[in-house]
Structure 1
């Protein structure tokens, strides 16, 4: 299995491995509310961006309830009919909110749902007594540090790594909250020790299904030039120094940077 495939498989199998962490004030308060909800028989909805821990918290509240994606509407209705407790995943995707409300009122099934915020408070008042919001990780710096520690331990176990995780220059990717952060930790850990043959194997795997036109060399040259120029910009800071290190005419380097303007290659002229 290639390095990229190993990383992807590791991230996929590790999705539910980390429990809800409580390092920030926001997550501590959310966990307190979750503990109260475990002992109550009321319905609750947990709001937040993707990757903020909504589903983990919902599973903590209802550990034995089936998790049903709201987009599978018929399956969701069947689960409501046949279970006393149900977790509704991604409530925003439900096809018919009115019919869902009617089903819940008829069966009295207890539900905890996760949502991004598509529906108004008035619409949700008919179903949910408690509404809980999880802020993005960018607003929970203490949780970010704790999650990195947890993901590093997880990655070491999954990838069989023993060397320490190099954090110099590691800037957390919070674009998808914990999802992007976990993926970044795995890839950082994996690629920190990757060799040339592994790197070429990844490129070969990527290109194998994409070749076939009459202009492939020029079409895929950016896969080599862009990371090379980016790395040079970070290290040498100026076009003049970078051109010298690469053995290129300065005008040639400038043209290459212009050709790859979509990738935001910027550096000082001197």
Structure 2
């Protein structure tokens, strides 16, 4: 019988896990138990929730192979006692892969981006672990933001004491991956100069320009940030129109024209 365990883990490095949330604490306990058991397991969850990190915590001295690199994986199975297989659901020939695992007597910790029902996998992996997304682990989000902020400070320097993310809505679209990217970009932009910002926009636009309507097409790159910052700062379209020196009807039209980017603000 398969045992389905709901756990959570996010990486600090390949051998450590954050333990800010109750789910993370349980994850570490479950993973620690698996270290002592000679059984194969399947870890599932969205991208960026720590599947490979959890697998590497269970088997810290074992190589990781992606199931899509089928021939390379088959060769590795012939000379290994234990193996970590990522994205096992993407294997081009799951039946042959499982047969090779069983024939060579290899213990595996596999990962998958989805909890899929498969009789072959059910027979191979006696334990299944599902990692919930970060949006269900508020304490872990705060810990990761601090972790990525420290990483950004070490990489780029600057003053981390004056840096603030209080107005940041965490980007959890890809869990820890998107959150890390957001913190890094926010840190870099904290003290960016106007000339540097213009250079960034210029680089972005360089390969995109070429039609006869480009000025109107890309005007939103200026208008949206200005309107978004103004609404967040002044909390009123009336005040914003005054500060920008715009007629209220003109501001409303610009907001309407860019509503796909301003829905959260309005």
**Shift in Å at residue 120 of structure 1?**
0.5
Answer yes or no: is 1:219 the counterpart of 2:223. Answer: no
More strand, by proportion: 2
3-state SS in 2 of match to 1:82: coil
The gaps in structure 1 that reach 5 residues or longer are 1-13
Residue 260 of structure 2 is aligned with which of 244, 259, 262? 262
| Runs of 4+ more than 6 Å apart | none
- Bigger mean CA offset, 181-190 vs 159-168: 159-168
**Shift in Å at residue 40 of structure 1?**
2.2
The gaps in structure 2 that reach 5 residues or longer are 1-10
Residue 53 of structure 2 is aligned with which of 56, 61, 67? 56
3-state SS in 2 of match to 1:114: strand
3-state SS in 2 of match to 1:87: strand
Q: Is the 8 A contact 1:257 1:265 kept in 2?
A: no
Q: Is the 8 A contact 2:14 2:60 kept in 1?
A: no
Distance 1:51 1:168 in 2: 23
**Shift in Å at residue 231 of structure 1?**
1.3
1:163 alignment counterpart? 160
Q: Is the 8 A contact 2:84 2:109 kept in 1?
A: yes
Q: Is the 8 A contact 1:48 1:115 kept in 2?
A: yes
Distance 1:248 1:225, change over 3 A: same
1:37 alignment counterpart? 34
**Shift in Å at residue 225 of structure 1?**
0.9
Distance 1:49 1:223 in 2: 31
1:7 alignment counterpart? none
Q: Is the 8 A contact 2:228 2:262 kept in 1?
A: no
Q: Is the 8 A contact 1:70 1:89 kept in 2?
A: yes
**Shift in Å at residue 148 of structure 1?**
1.9
User: What TM-score, normalized by structure 2, do the two folds share?
Assistant: 0.87
Distance 1:138 1:18, change over 3 A: farther
3-state SS in 1 of match to 2:83: strand
Q: Is the 8 A contact 1:233 1:242 kept in 2?
A: yes
2:172 alignment counterpart? 174
How many residues are treated as equivalent by the alignment? Answer: 255
3-state SS in 2 of match to 1:47: strand
Once superposed, what is the RMSD of the aligned Cα atoms? 2.2
3-state SS in 1 of match to 2:152: helix
- Bigger mean CA offset, 101-110 vs 122-131: 122-131
3-state SS in 1 of match to 2:222: helix
3-state SS in 2 of match to 1:133: strand
3-state SS in 2 of match to 1:217: helix
Distance 1:49 1:76, change over 3 A: same
**Shift in Å at residue 44 of structure 1?**
0.9
Residue 240 of structure 2 is aligned with which of 239, 242, 246? 242
2:198 alignment counterpart? 200
2:71 alignment counterpart? 74
**Shift in Å at residue 91 of structure 1?**
1.8
**Shift in Å at residue 92 of structure 1?**
2.1
**Shift in Å at residue 111 of structure 1?**
0.8
Distance 1:238 1:18 in 2: 49
Distance 1:18 1:183 in 2: 22
